[in-house]
Amino acid sequence: MTLTPTAHELLLPDHDAIAGWRRLRERLARADRDAAATALATLSGEIRRTVISTITAAGLGHAGGDLSVTDILTTLYGAVLRVDPADPGWPDRDRFVLSKGHCSVALYTTLATCGFFSADRLSTFAAPLSPLNGHPSRRAVPGVETSTGPLGHGLPVGVGIAVGLRLRGSAARTVVVLGDGELQEGSNWEAAMTAGHRGLASLTAVIDRNGLQQGARTSDTNDLEPLADKWRAFGWEAVEVDGHDHLALLDAVTAPHGSGRPRCVIARTVKGRGVSFMEDRVEWHHKVPDAEQARTALEELR
């Protein structure tokens, strides 16, 4: 079959980073709760700083949402997902889908931290022919299960993965992270209904509930509340947690399943989390910091 030629460089695993990530996973598995919380918070801080530097250098990105989703990503990749950065196609890996694909820089930074590719490639973000596009491509980035960017796509794909893994007899789990604004897309509710109907207990949806969408508050645009009730009505378990509390996220995602239902974790977050002048400000959806703002942000994130 004739395909579009690959114009970008091939991203290869970074074995030093993989070794470091494996050590972190082992340390976290043994750590008490305080130590685990500290380690995950440290990781989040590093990722947030890289996000700011990367977006500032590229002159493009979605800083607000990147900072709101960071703690969710570090919890998942630091302590939950069974993946192998050295073998991204391992058939029984857990699957992760970032449905809010515009927060690609947070995802790329997290994947590089795990060693799916070298962190020095982050400096190519959005540059001509870089594999690191403004929205993650399955063609170009190891660890990306499906290309996202248009909203409302991740959950149906996650449902299909969960159905498929169950058919294949795999115990792997599927986690989809969604933005709250994108829940206005009807395709999510088609998928939510299917997952509830089929009792896909291996599927978890985490909602980055920062309350802001591109143009305004979700509550002023097309309100989502009562959000947990909506998921329950579609046949899901639903829990609400502080989306910046790593241990609360960890507990919510890993709690044993008694119900045989898919689980929705509504993670209450702050858009722009960690940078005073970005927090809960709608303009930081896709505004790029200037040099002075970036300096301030990096200081605040220390």
Partner 1 sequence: MILDETHDCRDAFAEELVRLARADDRIVAVCNDSVGSSKLGSFAAEFPDRLVNVGIAEQDMVGIGAGLANAGLVPFVCGAATFLTARALEQIKADVAYSLANVKLCGMSPGLAYGALGPTHHSTEDLSWLRAIADLPVIVPADPAQTRAAIRWAAETDGPVFLRIGRFPVPDVSPPGGPAFTYGRAVRLREGVDATIVATGTMVSRAMQAAALLEERGVQARVVNVSTVAPLDREEIMAAARQTGAVVTAEEAVPTGGLGAAVAEVVLETRPVPMRLLGTRAFAPTGETGFLLEYFGLTADGIARTALEVLGLDHS
Contact track, partner 1, 16-55, x by CB under 8 A: ----------------------------------------
Q: Which residues contact 195 (CB under 8 A, 6 or more apart)?
A: 155, 159, 162, 203, 234, 235, 236, 262
- Region binding partner 1 by CB under 8 A among candidate stretches 62-70, 138-146, 213-221, 257-265: 138-146
Regarding 82 and contact with partner 1 (CB under 8 A), the answer is no
- Region binding partner 1 by CB under 8 A among candidate stretches 12-20, 122-130, 160-168, 275-283: 160-168
Regarding 94 and contact with partner 1 (CB under 8 A), the answer is no
- Region binding partner 1 by CB under 8 A among candidate stretches 21-29, 159-167, 266-274, 275-283: 159-167
- CA–CA distance, 67 with 74 (Å, rounded to integer): 11
Tokens of 158: 């996650």
Q: How far is the CB of 54 from partner 1 (least distance, A)?
A: 23
Handedness of CA 178, 179, 181, 182 (dihedral sign): negative
Helix axes 291-300, 33-58, angle to 10 degrees: 180
Strand locations in 99-250, DSSP E? 174-179, 203-209, 237-242
Q: How far is the CB of 197 from partner 1 (least distance, A)?
A: 8
Using the rule CB under 8 A, which residue among 32, 167, 256, 292 binds partner 1? 167
C-beta neighbour count of 30 within 10 angstroms: 8
Residue identified by tokens 């709760």 is: 33
- Region binding partner 1 by CB under 8 A among candidate stretches 56-64, 146-154, 219-227, 294-302: 146-154
Regarding 300 and contact with partner 1 (CB under 8 A), the answer is no
Regarding 196 and contact with partner 1 (CB under 8 A), the answer is no
Structural contact between residues 264 and 252, judged by C-beta atoms closer than 8 angstroms:
no
Q: How far is the CB of 181 from partner 1 (least distance, A)?
A: 17
- CA–CA distance, 98 with 34 (Å, rounded to integer): 28
Regarding 3 and contact with partner 1 (CB under 8 A), the answer is yes
Strand locations in the chain, DSSP E? 95-98, 174-179, 203-209, 237-242, 263-268
Amino acid at 246: H
Nearer to partner 1, 166 or 246 (CB): 166
Using the rule CB under 8 A, which residue among 65, 152, 243, 274 binds partner 1? 152
Judged by the rule CB under 8 A, the positions of this chain that interact with partner 1 are 1-4, 91, 95, 137-139, 145-150, 152-153, 155-165, 167-168, 170, 186-187, 190-191, 193-194
